[in-house]
């Protein structure tokens, strides 16, 4: 007897290998998945512009990364004594214009370099809603807690959504490796502040637009992350206390599902061992001279070194 409806991720013919590079961009759920890639010691970076939710802004970010087009003073605004880019997350805001620009442009440069050698791209959309900053008539990625009176909120049109997705694919195909695989997902995090009905409309528009565009490209695929959480894991025990964000158990389940479908056998084993090592690295002692602890550390270092011998890129850099 089954007590839930399971949603499976279709197995990929092409697999993620231990030396592959994975670039992810989009909502905070993309960051959680990327964190697991990094814990598994795969080569991965995410969100060079910070967390971004809508396809228009994500496409704008990919275009700037593709062109390696640095930001300049005139593109920033000031609010609460900080210099701000409306294309970026609040984590880039500083009190000094040169610091904000340095943070922005260093990440842009890093992202451009990484994209040129990327094998896998994961794009996670969060919402179809977008805000226009009225003083500059500019569609923005983040409102930076600027008063609402300066913005107008609306849904992106279907044409805007499909154009954004299409152009994102073109730019990624151009800058990445020839055989790059692009995976599209819709974040399972519900934007309840928009309203429950509005959130469902927003997500539906995203799913519709993705499914209209990706059949045109052989290297583009849809991952049913939204469907896994909404249907397979529909119980609130899989959410954090805010009842909105998936908890660690849910994220790990989705990561396991993804790995089953996309990781090669070698990659599965590599990540599994690295997760064990990370868990062991969390162990602390009050007596570092304890012979048993010294022996434990020596054996752990041997395991780390054995893992290092398996790959060309550097791993466990802080250990």
pLDDT at 274: 96
In terms of C-beta distances under 8 Å and separation of at least 24 residues, what long-range contacts does 154-159 make, across chains too? 154/129, 154/130, 155/128, 155/129, 155/130, 155/201, 155/202, 155/205, 156/54, 156/55, 156/56, 156/128, 156/129, 156/130, 156/205, 158/205, 158/208, 158/209
pLDDT at 225 > cutoff 80: yes
pLDDT at 319: 62
- Backbone torsions φ then ψ of 112, nearest 5 degrees: -60, -45
pLDDT digits (tens, 9 = 90+) for 87-144: 999 999 999 999 999 999 999 999 999 999 999 999 999 999 999 999 999 999 999 9
When the pLDDT of each residue in the chain is averaged and rounded to a whole number, the result is: 95
pLDDT band, residue 292 (cuts 50/70/90): confident
In Å, what is the CA distance from 147 to each residue of 85, 134, 303?
Answer: 16, 12, 53
Percentage with pLDDT > 70 across the chain: 100
pLDDT at 289: 81
**pTM for the structure as a whole:** 0.94
d(CA 107, CA 111): 6
pLDDT at 4 > cutoff 90: no
Across 61-68, average pLDDT = 98
pLDDT at 318 > cutoff 90: no
Across 24-44, average pLDDT = 91
pLDDT at 191: 92
Indicate the class that CATH gives domain 21-265. alpha beta
């Amino acid at each position: 007897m089954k007590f839930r409806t399971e949603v499976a991720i279709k197995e990929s013919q092409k697999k993620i290998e231990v030396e592959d590079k994975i670039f992810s961009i989009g909502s905070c759920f993309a960051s959680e998945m990327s964190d697991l890639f990094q814990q598994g010691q795969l080569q991965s970076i995410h969100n060079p512009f910070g967390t971004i939710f809508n396809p228009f802004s994500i496409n704008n970010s990919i275009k700037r990364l593709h062109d390696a087009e640095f930001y300049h003073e005139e593109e920033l605004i000031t609010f609460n004594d900080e210099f701000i880019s409306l294309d970026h997350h609040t984590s880039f805001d500083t009190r000094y214009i040169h610091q904000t620009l340095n943070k922005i442009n260093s990440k842009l440069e890093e992202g451009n370099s990484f994209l040129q050698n990327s094998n896998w791209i994961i794009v996670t959309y969060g919402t179809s809603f977008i805000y226009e900053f009225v003083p500059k008539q500019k569609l923005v990625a983040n409102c930076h807690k600027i008063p609402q009176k300066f913005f107008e909120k609306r849904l992106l049109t279907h044409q805007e959504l499909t154009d954004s997705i299409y152009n994102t694919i073109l730019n990624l195909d151009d800058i990445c490796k020839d055989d790059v695989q692009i995976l599209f997902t819709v974040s399972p995090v519900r934007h309840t502040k928009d309203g429950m009905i509005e959130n469902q409309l927003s997500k539906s528009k995203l799913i519709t637009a993705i499914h209209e565009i990706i059949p045109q490209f052989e290297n583009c695929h849809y991952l049913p992350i939204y469907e896994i959480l909404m249907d397979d894991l529909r119980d609130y025990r899989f959410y954090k206390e805010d009842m909105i964000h998936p908890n660690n158990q849910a994220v790990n389940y989705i990561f396991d599902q993804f790995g089953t479908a996309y990781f090669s056998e070698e990659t599965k084993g590599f990540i599994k061992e690295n997760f064990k090592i990370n868990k062991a690295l969390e162990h602390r002692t009050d007596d570092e001279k304890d012979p048993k602890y010294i022996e434990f550390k020596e054996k752990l270092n041997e395991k780390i070194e054995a893992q290092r011998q398996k790959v060309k890129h550097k791993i466990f850099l802080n250990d």
